[in-house]
A and B are shown apart, each in its own frame.
Chain A
């Protein structure tokens, strides 16, 4: 919110530099985002009274003006501007002055006539060009008659030296969306008073009841008030009023509308002025359920509306979107004779939803959205009435319509105990100090006893309900940064990771050690990307009701889509190889009315030179080994995502803990992947479940081993695991280890066969083994392999 420091100073005596004020406000809870002057560069631009205008003798489009700038003799200004006239008070950039964009102005000769400077437009004055009407922007900025005496430096009178404070307000401080609100906060922080507002009005003429009847038919409008005025003359408002609007970021329009905006900025209550004649009836009905499909708002845009939107109507059709923007049909125009001034309270949620649906956020709607207390409607109406008279814009019609559909709240009372407060904040304040802080915030404080206060909350502080709220009030004036920092006392806590959290960290370390980079991908995918994996998206569907788009409509049930997408991205960007892993959640459908379940998956992927199934399998085995899992198997099974001949399920007993494989060529195509991509998709939860970190030391062997190398030629389709099992089952109890050291197909081996070579180590822990015992075992093995697998020993 933009706040003019000059305006603020009219209510609080601020004896601080803007920088000091910024710190004081921020540290007491009114966060200053920025604080900047309107324009810092202009220098020596003076008010000049045009005495005489003559045509330039040598140039058709130039005029020579004699201008009084408060010096003995008038100066000469040559201008091409057509909106200046004799007797006009205008800004003059004299010799040596600097205009808004930083240009220094010097005496210049125009076709033989020396000009002592130039007249200035709004832009050249460094004022905000966004907020002026085009006619004013196009010419020289004409100042009101007698605004200042000729020769006066205009920087101060035009509020160009004003500091604009941009304040970030918190959601609970609707009352601070106004000069008065900020003034109260500033006064509290500086320990100062706030100047009273003038509400005085004279007795009006005639009576409002002769003109208008108001009905409120919706609870979305807790309070609706109306006054009426006879317009004296529709004209621009006084410059002092315009300047305040300008420096608050609001465009001046005319004296009637400007007053409504002025009061909104000053007090925080949005007001609206209707042209009585164009209302077309003698009544206002506030209601929802309108049948119209559109309404044209003041900004001349036709906007679609619906029945839930609260409208101000004339009993027949809408004349304003309540609390957001007036209708074009009842706008104040130059011809307006009678004005209806609305000052109402609307439900903040209703305003917020309508504003969102219309895509229209205004100064008014944003104030309603934060919440305004209903009593303010009456106060603001009165203030506007005062201002209409003060600037001679309109004369009041007697009477005040005030309809309340919701009863006003009793003032809140909060009991605050000194001892509790000190203990809660960790400070040591005297009761008098606490009272002082609360009273600085304009709260009424009653002392009950030496430890207890009863605090009565004014109606505009709807955010104060509990003693903790008052603790914050005291703390922020005392200064959060003055509260001594302490370390927690009491029970000792031991912070440590759970076994699962430790395992996760260990896995991260292992996989980075194996050359993999951890990735981070979002949780959203799409049914289409699941289809692209060769899977059925309907099998496990956690759909978002209101996704940003189809491609992010599904909570992923697998980490594979993102992992493949990032491989595709890397490959397409010329990264010729990559090794990745990710440990993240997946989401799974549960019966209706229950939360979807969440699991943690570990996905490991790689592509590029020297990568193959066995490379990745080795890494998966390292993972299993890190987990202390020994009793696992790789079975040639798995989903449609994988190459059918290069996929495996990792199984512990009968429990599938994951799959590993080469990505199916169809999936490669769907995801635009390099030809060979290897991925392992494992359940981290199951790894953690089967993990075993118990280590039991085995004595180092003292008796020698005997090793035998055996190679078997077997059918290509027989799994090495099966052969290994046969060897294991027939090797006897002295077999210490089996290690596959060679797989061979090719020359000397029939085409449908393969050769697998194993190194077998035999040892007896209690004695030296004899050759004959090992020979016997080897014979058994050979025989069993022949019988069970029709395998033959290969002669080396």
Chain B
């Protein structure tokens, strides 16, 4: 019996070596382990053996079956792997061919800048406010402490919708009237920014447009200091242009702030050494700002001896042009897709 088992094993090993395909392998399996396979038959015959041989033969037959079974499995795995490998070779592609066009669009560069500024100020606890673009002159000028004779009120400088006395309506020349509207609506304390569209009677050229965009900021609370104005705007500049950016504040004049200032940032192109972006000065004018003029607070019924605040305003088109190196304002309004694609 033992000899039988040994010869079966020898035969199996020889046959296995000849196996070429999964089909051969399956035939081999049936020959040995199938219902009528050699091992199966031996197992079935054990019951006919003498009592003392049964356990010995049984054990060896079982061992042989395990051996065959595991050899078959191993062989099958190998064949399968060979097949997969050969398929992989066939399926090889040129990965340098272009990807399929997914047609992703993009935001307008000006809007990207607006979103970025909004996010910075949202993080500092500001909310975003909007106001009418066609506005009463009292909101656009009077409440903002603009002198009645100021030239910006002239028909040659601002667009008017109505000049009926007492009901003058202008296309707002600045986003500042939003300050007044929000102060009236929400009162103090307050922290707002308001990006938006403004209008001035300028002919269009590379740096001027009758339609352009500003962002306005306003903080009013008890105990707001000029140091707070500086701290807030310095933080803003660092978030927009990076930690290394430097700021400087220069005295200036605006009707709705006193003291007033302009904030310059160190040139982000040359780092302050002087280049054509900053006109060789190392500094770039970024925004106008100042402490809210008491006349402005009083105009909306806020006690200027109790409350103080600061306001700031910046030209968005200019920031976008500086940030992306766009040299002609008209490109922003033209919407050539080859231009728009560069900001996607």
Contacts known (A468-B293, A498-B128, A580-B335); A493 close to B199, Cβ less than 8 A: no
Q: Evaluate contact between B201 and A548: CB separation under 8 angstroms.
A: yes
8 Å CB contact of A517 from B106, B219, B258: B106
Contacts known (A352-B151, A495-B127, A518-B111); A487 close to B228, Cβ less than 8 A: yes
Which B192-228 residues have a C-beta within 8 angstroms of A?
A: 197, 199, 201, 203, 209-211, 219, 221-228
Contacts known (A426-B228, A552-B210); A569 close to B335, Cβ less than 8 A: yes
Q: Return chain B residues, CB-CB under 8 Å to A498.
A: 127-128
Q: Evaluate contact between A489 and B253: CB separation under 8 angstroms.
A: no
A579 within 8 A of B: yes
Q: Cα distance A544–B161 when bound, in Å?
A: 5
Q: Mark B102-143, 1 if CB is under 8 A from A, else 0.
A: 111111101100010010011111111000111110000000
A476 within 8 A of B: yes
A523 within 8 A of B: yes
Q: Return chain B residues, CB-CB under 8 Å to A171.
A: 253
8 Å CB contact of B105 from A173, A485, A512: A512
Q: Evaluate contact between B155 and A544: CB separation under 8 angstroms.
A: no
Q: Evaluate contact between A517 and B163: CB separation under 8 angstroms.
A: no
Stretch from B26-34, B47-55, B164-172 contacting the other chain: B164-172
Q: Cα distance A600–B154 when bound, in Å?
A: 29
Q: Return chain A residues, CB-CB under 8 Å to B253.
A: 170-173, 463
8 Å CB contact of B259 from A472, A492, A544: A472
State the Cβ distance, A223 to closest chain B Cβ, in Å: 18
Q: Return chain B residues, CB-CB under 8 Å to A490.
A: 189, 221-223
State the Cβ distance, B227 to closest chain A Cβ, in Å: 3
Q: Evaluate contact between A475 and B163: CB separation under 8 angstroms.
A: no
Q: Cα distance A427–B230 when bound, in Å?
A: 12
Q: Cα distance A290–B313 when bound, in Å?
A: 45
A625 within 8 A of B: no
B149 within 8 A of A: yes
> What residue of chain A has the Cβ atom nearest to residue B253's Cβ?
A170
Q: Evaluate contact between B223 and A423: CB separation under 8 angstroms.
A: yes
Contacts known (A476-B259, A521-B333, A548-B201); A495 close to B223, Cβ less than 8 A: no
Q: Evaluate contact between B221 and A491: CB separation under 8 angstroms.
A: yes
Q: Evaluate contact between B336 and A545: CB separation under 8 angstroms.
A: no
Q: Evaluate contact between A517 and B251: CB separation under 8 angstroms.
A: no
> What residue of chain A has the Cβ atom nearest to residue B126's Cβ?
A495
Q: Return chain A residues, CB-CB under 8 Å to B104.
A: 512-513, 515
8 Å CB contact of A424 from B169, B210, B226, B344: B226
Q: Mark A329-348, 1 if CB is under 8 A from B, else 0.
A: 00000000000000000001
> What residue of chain B has the Cβ atom nearest to residue A350's Cβ?
B149
> What residue of chain A has the Cβ atom nearest to residue B219's Cβ?
A488
Q: Evaluate contact between B134 and A598: CB separation under 8 angstroms.
A: yes
Q: Mark A548-561, 1 if CB is under 8 A from B, else 0.
A: 10001001000000
State the Cβ distance, B172 to closest chain A Cβ, in Å: 11
Contacts known (A348-B149, A570-B335); A505 close to B115, Cβ less than 8 A: yes
A480 within 8 A of B: yes
Q: Evaluate contact between B126 and A487: CB separation under 8 angstroms.
A: no
Contacts known (A26-B250, A27-B250, A523-B199); A424 close to B337, Cβ less than 8 A: no
Q: Evaluate contact between A497 and B128: CB separation under 8 angstroms.
A: yes
State the Cβ distance, A405 to closest chain B Cβ, in Å: 18
Q: Cα distance A298–B315 when bound, in Å?
A: 41
Contacts known (A488-B221, A497-B128, A517-B341); A480 close to B250, Cβ less than 8 A: yes
Q: Return chain B residues, CB-CB under 8 Å to A488.
A: 219, 221, 224, 228, 231-232
State the Cβ distance, A399 to closest chain B Cβ, in Å: 35
8 Å CB contact of B159 from A426, A492, A544, A579: A544
Q: Evaluate contact between A426 and B335: CB separation under 8 angstroms.
A: no
Contacts known (A468-B291, A515-B103); A489 close to B223, Cβ less than 8 A: yes
State the Cβ distance, A170 to closest chain B Cβ, in Å: 3
Q: Evaluate contact between B336 and A573: CB separation under 8 angstroms.
A: yes
8 Å CB contact of B210 from A170, A511, A548: A548
State the Cβ distance, B177 to closest chain A Cβ, in Å: 11
Q: Evaluate contact between A425 and B159: CB separation under 8 angstroms.
A: no
Q: Return chain B residues, CB-CB under 8 Å to A543.
A: 161
Contacts known (A26-B250, A512-B106); A487 close to B231, Cβ less than 8 A: yes
B43 within 8 A of A: no
B160 within 8 A of A: yes
A719 within 8 A of B: no
Q: Return chain A residues, CB-CB under 8 Å to B223.
A: 423, 489-490
Q: Return chain B residues, CB-CB under 8 Å to A515.
A: 102-105
Q: Evaluate contact between A426 and B225: CB separation under 8 angstroms.
A: yes
Q: Evaluate contact between B259 and A471: CB separation under 8 angstroms.
A: yes
Q: Cα distance A470–B126 when bound, in Å?
A: 30
B178 within 8 A of A: no
Contacts known (A481-B248, A523-B197, A544-B159); A593 close to B164, Cβ less than 8 A: yes
- Please indicate which of the listed interface residues B134, B155, B160, B333 has the most CB atoms of chain A within 10 Å of its own CB: B134
Q: Cα distance A544–B158 when bound, in Å?
A: 10
B323 within 8 A of A: no
CB-based A-B contact count at 8 angstroms: 237
Q: Return chain A residues, CB-CB under 8 Å to B105.
A: 511-518, 579, 581
State the Cβ distance, B18 to closest chain A Cβ, in Å: 49
> Interface size (A, Cβ < 8 Å)?
86
A469 within 8 A of B: yes
Q: Cα distance A628–B136 when bound, in Å?
A: 37
8 Å CB contact of B251 from A29, A427, A486, A581: A29
Contacts known (A486-B227, A546-B160); A522 close to B135, Cβ less than 8 A: no
- Please indicate which of the listed interface residues A356, A472, A514, A548 has the most CB atoms of chain B within 10 Å of its own CB: A472
Which A462-486 residues have a C-beta within 8 angstroms of B?
A: 463, 466, 468-469, 471-472, 475-476, 480-481, 483-486
Q: Evaluate contact between B191 and A493: CB separation under 8 angstroms.
A: yes
> What residue of chain B has the Cβ atom nearest to residue A474's Cβ?
B259
Q: Evaluate contact between A469 and B336: CB separation under 8 angstroms.
A: no
Q: Cα distance A239–B333 when bound, in Å?
A: 54
Q: Return chain B residues, CB-CB under 8 Å to A521.
A: 333, 335
> What residue of chain A has the Cβ atom nearest to residue B167's Cβ?
A593
A496 within 8 A of B: yes
A448 within 8 A of B: no
Q: Evaluate contact between A170 and B252: CB separation under 8 angstroms.
A: yes
A362 within 8 A of B: no
A692 within 8 A of B: no
Q: Evaluate contact between B234 and A485: CB separation under 8 angstroms.
A: yes
B268 within 8 A of A: no
Q: Evaluate contact between A595 and B136: CB separation under 8 angstroms.
A: yes
8 Å CB contact of B340 from A356, A495, A508, A518: A518
Q: Cα distance A495–B191 when bound, in Å?
A: 9
Q: Evaluate contact between B197 and A585: CB separation under 8 angstroms.
A: yes
Q: Return chain A residues, CB-CB under 8 Å to B159.
A: 544-547
Q: Return chain A residues, CB-CB under 8 Å to B294.
A: 466, 468
8 Å CB contact of B132 from A173, A523, A598: A598
Contacts known (A426-B227, A546-B159); A512 close to B107, Cβ less than 8 A: yes
A617 within 8 A of B: no
Q: Return chain A residues, CB-CB under 8 Å to B126.
A: 493, 495
Q: Return chain A residues, CB-CB under 8 Å to B175.
A: none
Which A80-108 residues have a C-beta within 8 angstroms of B?
A: none
State the Cβ distance, B141 to closest chain A Cβ, in Å: 14
B332 within 8 A of A: yes
Q: Return chain A residues, CB-CB under 8 Å to B261.
A: 480
**Sample of 5 more A-B contacts, CB < 8 Å, known A353-B154, A513-B104:** A424-B291, A487-B235, A518-B107, A523-B133, A544-B159
14 contacts between A and B (CB under 8 A): A27-B250, A425-B259, A466-B294, A468-B259, A480-B249, A483-B230, A488-B231, A491-B221, A493-B127, A493-B191, A495-B127, A497-B118, A517-B105, A520-B110
Complex A-B, nearest 7 residue pairs according to Cβ-Cβ distance, in ascending order: A426-B227, A493-B125, A426-B225, A29-B251, A472-B259, A515-B103, A170-B253
Chain B residues with CB under 8 Å of chain A are 102-108, 110-111, 115, 118, 121-128, 132-136, 149, 151, 154-156, 159-164, 167, 169, 171, 189, 191, 197, 199, 201, 203, 209-211, 219, 221-228, 230-232, 234-235, 248-253, 258-261, 291, 293-294, 308, 332-338, 340-341, 344
